[in-house]
Structure 1
Amino acid sequence: MKRILVVEDSKSEQLLISGLLKTLGAEIIALSDGNSAIQWLTDNPAPDLIFLDIVMPDISGYDLCRKIRTDLGLETVPIVFCSTKNEEYDRFWALRQGGNAYLTKPYSPSDLMKTAKEYLAI
């Protein structure tokens, strides 16, 4: 079974993303902040896919992505940013930090599912 980590501080967004991704038959781990994500990633096998918000209270998604890639050594786990930040600079910076894809909120459920399927190869 595929495992997907969702790091999103908005409970409603977290539930929306998790609900959509569960339809893929994946195990969803939903966390509300970057520090919890770092702890979970340290204590568990790497997930197959990570969805990250950018604006979070303790650590930004940009910083979390860099930590995932460098400190935790998870260079091959796909990371998809989901954010309300919609400037081209935001997309550029997210991908520069090690992200693989970028979805701007509000996104369509079909875009989220298409992106997840692409990176999960299902």
Structure 2
Amino acid sequence: MSLTLLGTILIVEDSPSELELMSHYLKESGYNVIKASGAKEGLEKAVLEKPDAIVTDVVMPEMSGFELCRSLRRNPITAKVPIVICSSKNQEIDRLWAMRQGADAYITKPYTREHLLRTIKSVVI
């Protein structure tokens, strides 16, 4: 039995365990997954692979998820790709700031598999 792929999701996350967990949830649910362990790598992969959505952490070395959001929105190739911020920062100000940077959705860690999938479905049209 082959799974119908729902789309390709780029995960940008510097924590290997978090990256694996998210990747597992998405693959198990029928998504193709591209992984990046930092925002700069994520930006390159987003331009090259043109994913259907991007899930990014906020706190990462070199470049934050907020900076990644701004860079993606400024690039004509990635400007329309839905972005989900997944962060341990759970203050309302963080959520508002994420939306100002161009994010389409914001979920906080720890999240459930259902919450992650529901959020991605809500932004991927």
CA–CA distance in 1 between the matches of 2:59 and 2:76? 21
Quote the residue 2:58 is aligned against: 54
Q: Does 1:78 align with 2:85?
A: no
Equivalent residues, number: 120
Q: Does 1:119 align with 2:123?
A: yes
Give structure 1 regions of 4+ aligned residues with deviation exceeding 4 angstroms. none
Aligned with residue 46 of structure 2, among 41, 49, 69 = 41
Quote the residue 2:70 is aligned against: 66
CA–CA distance in 1 between the matches of 2:90 and 2:28? 27
TM-score by length of 2: 0.89
Moved more, 20-29 or 79-88: 20-29
CA–CA distance in 2 between the matches of 1:75 and 1:41? 10
Quote the residue 1:5 is aligned against: 10
Q: Show structure 1 runs of 5+ residues with no match.
A: none
Is the Cα contact below 8 Å between 1:3 and 1:28 reproduced in 2?
yes
RMSD of Structure 2 on Structure 1 (CA): 1.3
Aligned with residue 107 of structure 2, among 103, 109, 115 = 103
Task: Kindly provide the CA deviation profile for residues 49-93 of structure 1, in whole angstroms up to 9, marking residues without a partner as x.
Answer: 100100001100000000001035422211000000111100000
CA–CA distance in 2 between the matches of 1:5 and 1:41? 7
Q: Show structure 2 runs of 5+ residues with no match.
A: none
Quote the residue 2:29 is aligned against: 24
Is the Cα contact below 8 Å between 1:42 and 1:72 reproduced in 2?
no
Percentage identity across aligned positions?
44
Name the SS for the 1:57 alignment partner: coil
